[in-house]
Structure 1
Amino acid sequence: MTDQTIPEPVAAFIEAVNRHDETAFLDAFAEGGAVDDWGRVFTGREQIKGWSDNEFIGANGTLAVEEVQTAGAAVTVVGDWRSTHANGRSKFVFDVDGDRIARMTISEG
């Protein structure tokens, strides 16, 4: 399914990112959650925060969603990422576990 409807908890996560809400961003991840940023993996709240401080929330990042696709527990969002660290079209694949994100994988959009 491809449309602009973003399922929860991914919708709330993107809203938290775009308003630079670090607490809501970190709380969106399941315990032991992970971020795979172009092959660099950060696991757990402390590692994700350290990465985000430099490259995501701390870099004033925003995501303008262009495409959304859902397949089971996976939600793929393609959009225009803008920050003081990196810019450009990127693909974010979210593995959802209940009301939390188990893993977010970032790659070329």
Structure 2
Amino acid sequence: MTSSTLPEPVARLIAAANAGNTDAFLDTFAETGAVNDWGRVFTGRDAIRAWSDSEFIGVGVTLDVTAEITTREHATVTAMVGGRGFNGQSHFSFTVANDLVTDMAITA
């Protein structure tokens, strides 16, 4: 699914993940940004990098967005997740401020 309604930082984050580009992925986050992966929270770029290296980009994640809901500061996407880790449908919620992701939450 290609969409022009996702906030630019979210679109960049998804593109970076699909390209396997950890640095570009991290550059989408605010310095105090956080990832909430099913209740486990990783705050700051160093913690997000460690999480991503073992559970996201490090396992070749792919995100095929199948649906989205976007408001001014929030976006929720449904994606089919592929790679060598979790595979299947997940929901990703994003909060954006100042052209950066401040929060990414992953749920069922």
* Native 8 Å contact 1:54 1:85 kept in 2: no
- 1:62 alignment counterpart: 62
* Native 8 Å contact 1:70 1:76 kept in 2: yes
Residue identity in the other structure for 1:92: F
1:75-94 aligned at under 5 Å gives the runs 75-94=75-94
Scaled by the length of structure 2, the TM-score of the pair is 0.93
Unaligned stretches of 5+ residues in structure 2: none
Which moves more between the two structures, 4-13 or 18-27? Answer: 4-13
* Native 8 Å contact 1:26 1:49 kept in 2: yes
Unaligned stretches of 5+ residues in structure 1: none
The superposition leaves residues 64-100 of structure 1 with CA deviations (integer Å, 9 ceiling, x where unpaired) of 0000111231111111011211111000000001210
Count of residues in Structure 1 that have an aligned counterpart in Structure 2: 106
* Native 8 Å contact 1:18 1:63 kept in 2: yes
State the shift of 1:9 in Å: 1.1
Scaled by the length of structure 1, the TM-score of the pair is 0.93
State the shift of 1:103 in Å: 0.4
Q: Does 1:102 align with 2:86?
A: no
Q: Does 1:26 align with 2:26?
A: yes
